[in-house]
Amino acid sequence: MKTMLKDVLFAAFALALCAAPASADDVKAGDLVISQAWSRATPGGAKVAGGYLTIENKGAAADKLVSVSADIAGKAEVHEMAMDNGVMKMRLLDKGLVIDPGKTVKFAPGGYHLMLQELKGPFKQGDKVPVTLQFEKAGKVAVSLDVQGVGAQAPGDGGHMMKKMPDHSGMKM
């Protein structure tokens, strides 16, 4: 009996090692599909964080992201960063963001993003941060942001922005 249990546990462990890394699941709400929801780990004491995701409208009518909320933040908003006369500016999209039919809108660093302010705690790599998106037609949609490394530029990046340096440990000086 112990041998059988040992074999089952070993098989489960081996299967876990082979499994793909966990990532945010696609969330379907009406004609919308929300995918690749992620954020970055926050340095100690940070009071703001960005949230990124992709929203695809597979329907025949437009929908509008009107607001966002998150229990971990005192304030959550939809923002856009864009160049204005050669200067990068961030602005609140207080009238919401339209997702046209057949179109995909990507929230990414340097563009559209969720702005989570007055954070009640840090975001740690590996965490899942729940947020609620409010759409005009699709209604309230719960999504989890997968927290990547501090310097991550995309989901699954892990925050490794620097190229690997060559190993010079065997060099003689």
Residue 99: pLDDT over 80: yes
Beta strands 32-40 and 139-148: pairing type?
parallel
pLDDT of residue 151: 80
pLDDT of residue 157: 60
Q: What is the pLDDT of residues 70-81, one digit of tens each?
A: 999 999 999 999
pTM of the model: 0.76
Residue spans of the domains in the chain: they are 19-147
**Which of the two residues, 5 and 101, has the higher pLDDT score?**
101
pLDDT of residue 83: 87
Distance CA 97, CA 82 (A): 14
Beta strands in the chain (DSSP E): 27-29, 32-40, 48-57, 63-69, 73-84, 87-92, 97-99, 104-106, 112-119, 128-135, 139-148
pLDDT of residue 3: 45
The CATH code of the domain at 19-147 is 2.60.40.1890
Distance CA 156, CA 107 (A): 15
Is residue 17 very low, low, confident or very high in pLDDT (cuts 50, 70, 90)? Answer: very low
